Amino acid sequence: MEALTSLLAGFETALTPINLLWALIGVTLGTLVGVLPGIGPALTVALLLPVTAKLPAVSAFIMFAGIYYGGMFGGSTTSILLNTPGESASIITALEGNKMARKGRAAAALATAAIGSFIAGTIGTLLLTFAAPAIAEIAVQITPSAKFALIMLAFVTISATFGGSPLRGLLSLFMGLAIGLVGTDLQSGQARFALGRPELLDGIDFITVVIGLFAIGETLYVASRLRKGKSDVIKLEGGATMSKQDWRRSWGPWLRGTALGFPFGAIPAGGAEIPTFLSYTLEKRLSKHPEEFGHGAIEGVAGPEAANNASAAGVLVPLLTLGLPTSATAAILLAAFQQYGLQPGPLLFLTNGELVWGLIASLYIGNVMLLALNLPLAPVWARLLLIPRPFLYAGILVFSTVGVYSLNNSVFDLGLLALFGVIGYGMRRFDFPVTPAIIGVVLGPTAEAQFRTALQQSNGDFSIFVRQPLTAFLMLCVLAALLVPQVLKYRASRRAA
């Protein structure tokens, strides 16, 4: 019941006219940028960070909530009309949704994606409302050693367990950790790896790393292997609508997709990719017409798209209650909190209750706005896909420059941006995943702080990491997450030989 009272107070915050306006601007900008090909939800949030720079914290986060969900909605529109997933979680939508669009069923594909996202987002936000305070209450008692173990678990699952190549994922993670080390050590005041540059004493701004690796890296990489010829956009007449039969075939996948997506978002398991694949497989198995899958089955859009959005809501549970981002987008949101001097975690509910509950309430509002925006305005968003590539990528670069320059008004940061752009190019060319690096930059300093606090409390006794029960259990999970996939792979290769 307590959650309900808090939520109502949150709605009081979020429903003021000015905050409603920020929410509306947030969802509109989020959708607008998210629709642009080549920009996934993570980059959408990163590019729009400077827009909120001068706002009070509560309004800024209400806008972020809109940008976050809006970026997801925009991404699915692109996947369906263009067959180009902006991120790995949209691969399935691109596969099946684009096939539907090619058969002239673009309106139905967009509608089932939008309504499914709305339902999944709303149910996910409901679950977040009731789960978050309960988890926050438990989380207050977690010891520093267990927090360190939890971060280790997030590191390993995100970089090694679910990726294509564990070695490359771990290398990416360690590169991120190394970047996170640069600057003044907060506990001792000791400068580390600053190379004598005063600009580096404050550390490297996380936003510079994200925009460099994602936006500049992508631009350089695409330029080096540009596809010639026009991209193939589906024409759209009128808004997104569905027939009665589409509704009948969609509601089951929506609910099942939500049930799969939310828990996967809430545990550190590498984001929304897995639940979308699981949802697709499940729908194919349950379907009365499995032969339609791969040729434009509506269930194959409805389920995964719901899973994707429910996972986006689930990601906010560990982010708000533990300060633990489990996806690249969540890591950027965490950095946004830190820019306002806020540390997400169990204490945030006590110290900044108004902000947290205002944010949660605005998630409900944003979802309703997105539905209202996306169904009738689908053709407008579709027009954005027609922007010629040279002008689109040039615009992305200009926006990246604004975002990074406005952090400290420093040209030195733009030099760093170019450097991370080149690294981002290399990561794409040599198959290193970007997300582990991002997580490493954001969580590295936190991991170090918890590690040191834990050892301060135990007077330098390292056995704290195996004696404290919860810590020991989490450390076992870390080992399992590292070793089990390897063992399975080895056995599979033995069997194949």
Partner 1 sequence: MTQPPPTPSTRPPISVPDLLVALALTALGAALFLGSREIPFGINAVVGPRVFPLIVSVGLTVLGLLLTVSVLRGDRAEPAAEEDTDLTVPVNLASPGIILGGFVLGAAVLTTAGFVIGTAIMYFSVAWAFGERRVGLMAGVALAVALVTYVAFTRGLGLNLPPGVLKGVL
Q: Does 224 bind partner 1 (CB under 8 A)?
A: yes
CB closer to partner 1 out of 71 and 346: 71
- Residue 38 or 239: the one with the smaller Cβ distance to partner 1 is 38
Please report, as residue ranges, which positions from 5 to 44 form the binding site for partner 1 (by CB under 8 A).
37-38
Closest contact distance (angstroms) between CB of 103 and partner 1 is 22
Please report how the helices 435-457 and 328-339 are oriented relative to each other, as an axis angle in degrees rounded to 10. 60
Instruction: Name the minimum Å distance from CB 454 to partner 1.
Output: 9
Angle at 321 between CA 458 and CA 332, to 5 degrees: 100
* Residue 34 or 37 having the CB closest to partner 1: 37
- Rule CB under 8 A: is residue 188 a binding residue for partner 1? yes
**What is the distance of C-alpha 362 from the center of its chain?**
18
Smallest separation, CB 46 to partner 1 (Å): 16
Q: Which of residues 69-88 bind partner 1 (CB under 8 A)?
A: 82, 84-86
Check binding of 183 to partner 1 (CB under 8 A): no
> 191: which strand partners?
184
Closer residue to partner 1 (CB): 227 or 285: 227
Tell me how far apart the 2 most distant CA atoms of the chain are, in Å: 69
DSSP category for residue 228: P
Q: Binding partner 1 by CB under 8 A: which of 96, 205, 218, 299?
A: 218
**Which residues, at least 6 apart from 407, have a Cβ–Cβ distance to it below 8 Å?**
50, 205, 207, 208, 413
Selected from 11, 174, 251, 340, the binder of partner 1 by CB under 8 A is 174
Q: What are the tokens at 437?
A: 């690096």
With CB under 8 A as the contact rule, which of the stretches 10-18, 144-152, 184-192, 198-206 interacts with partner 1? 184-192
Subset of residues 44 to 73 that bind partner 1, contact rule: CB under 8 A: 50-51, 53-54
Binding status of residue 162 toward partner 1 by CB under 8 A: no
Residue appearing with tokens 């990561």? 427
- Window 367-426: residues binding partner 1 (CB under 8 A): 388-391, 393-395, 397-399, 401-402, 405-406, 409, 411, 414-415, 418, 421-422, 425-426
E strands within 6-116? Answer: none
The residue among 368 and 397 lying less far from partner 1, judged by its C-beta, is: 397
By the rule CB under 8 A, 168 interacts with partner 1: yes
> Among residues 222 and 380, whose Cβ is nearest to partner 1?
222
**Candidate list 110, 171, 319, 324; residue touching partner 1; CB under 8 A:** 171
Q: Please, which of residues 318-377 interact with partner 1 by CB under 8 A?
A: none
Q: Is the CB of 116 or the CB of 424 nearer to partner 1?
A: 424
Instruction: Give the total of residues touching partner 1 (CB under 8 A).
Output: 76
Q: Are 391 and 123 in contact (CB under 8 A)?
A: no
CB 215 within 8 A of CB 397: yes
Q: Tell me the residue type at 151.
A: I
Choice between 16 and 458, CB closer to partner 1: 458
Distance, CA of 266 to CA of 260 (rounded, Å)? 11
DSSP H/E element including 322:
helix 299-322
What would the x/- binding string for partner 1 be over residues 189 to 208, using CB under 8 A? -x-xx---------------
Cβ-contact 351, 458 below 8 angstroms: no
Q: Which is nearer to partner 1, 50 or 379 (CB)?
A: 50
Residue 131 CB, shortest distance to partner 1, in Å, is: 32
Say what the alpha-carbon torsion angle 388, 411, 176, 49 is, to the nearest 10 degrees. Answer: -60
| Separation of alpha carbons 42 and 34, rounded Å | 9
Of the pair 221, 247, the CB lying nearest partner 1 is at 221
220 vs 378, which CB is nearer to partner 1? 220
Cα gap 346→356, rounded to integer Å: 11
Q: Which two tokens stand for residue 25?
A: 């601007």
Contacts of 115 (CB under 8 A, 6+ apart): 242, 250, 254, 371, 375
- Evaluate whether 42 touches 50 at the Cβ level (below 8 Å): no
Which of the stretches 7-15, 183-191, 270-278, 358-366 binds partner 1 when contact is defined by CB under 8 A? 183-191
Which residue in the set 113, 170, 260, 375 belongs to the binding site for partner 1 (CB under 8 A)? 170
Q: How far is the CB of 38 from partner 1 (least distance, A)?
A: 6
Write out the binding residues for partner 1, residues 231-250 only, by CB under 8 A. 231
Cβ proximity of 30 and 69 under 8 Å: yes
- Rounded to a whole number of angstroms, the minimum distance from the CB of residue 177 to partner 1 is 5
Q: How far is CA 428 from CA 94, 95, 155, 180, 216, in A?
A: 21, 22, 20, 21, 11
- Under DSSP, the state recorded for 235 is P
Which amino acid would we find at residue 129? T
Least CB distance to partner 1 at residue 452 (A): 4
Q: Rank residues 104 and 395 by Cβ distance to partner 1 and give the closer one.
A: 395
- Shortest distance (Å) from residue 67 CB to partner 1: 14
Site for partner 1 in 425-484 (CB under 8 A): 425-426, 428-432, 444, 448, 451-452, 455-456, 459-460
CB-nearer residue toward partner 1: 402 or 476:
402
Closest by CA to 206, choosing from 35, 23, 56, 330, is: 330
At 143, list the tokens. Answer: 């010891």
